[in-house]
Each structure stands twice: as C-alpha cells, then as structure tokens.
Amino acid sequence: MIARIWHGITPAAKADAYNSIVDRTGIRDLRKTEGNRGAWAFRRVDGDVAHFIVLSMWDGMDAIRRFAGPEPQKAFYYSEDDDFLIDREPCVEHYEIVAGEQG
C-alpha cells in the first residue's frame, strides 16, 4: 500500500470554511476512487494560519493515478482552493507502507 500526503495552509480565520471544502471535494473524491483505502483530513491552527494535511491510502501508484492523473507526484487542486490557500505546494509525498495493521 501507498500513503499519499498533501499539505496546505490557509488563514486561521478561514479554517472552518476550508475544512468543509476539503470534505466536500477532496475527501469525497479520494474515497470514491477505485483503489483508495481511506482518506482523512487533519488540521492544526498555529497563530494566524491553519495547516491542513490530507492523508490517503492506496493499493498502489496505478490507483493514485486514477485520482491524480498521469503525474501522481503533482498536487491536485480544486477551483475553490484559490479562495482559501495561502500558497499552492506543487507536489505531494508518497510513502510505501511497510508496517502497521489494517483495521
């Protein structure tokens, strides 16, 4: 299995609204993609900014390509993100899962 990790930063004042956007767009789309094994969003407010991490688990890179397209290392963004994100990180990280349990 492969873990895909995306990071984004919003103004803290927009964190609750962006959380709703992430759930309605990214999380739902990730979970409905064939080969996805789960998706979660995490948030940490640090002063005036909020950090978001989206973690998704996948059967493999072919499954990730079904969501992200032919260049799975590139971050995938929605049009709504423009109203919230301070910056768009160009890439995500992928890690092979080598230990742990499936629940």
* Domain assignment of residue 12, given as a range: 2-96
Q: Is residue 40 part of a domain?
A: yes
Q: 4-15 pLDDT, tens per residue?
A: 999 999 999 999
Decide if 84 is inside a domain.
Answer: yes
pTM (2 d.p.): 0.93
- How many other C-beta atoms are found inside a 10 Å radius of the C-beta of residue 52? 21
Q: Looking at the domain assignment, is residue 24 inside a domain?
A: yes
* Cβ 17 vs Cβ 83: under 8 Å: no
Report yes or no on 102 lying in a domain.
no
Q: Could you tell me the CATH number of the domain that includes residue 82?
A: 3.30.70.100
Predicted local distance difference test score (pLDDT) of residue 49:
98
* pLDDT in the model for residue 101: 74
Q: What is the pLDDT of residues 34-46, one digit of tens each?
A: 999 999 999 999 9
For residue 102, pLDDT over 70 is answered with no
Query: Tokens 């995490």 map to which residue?
Result: 42
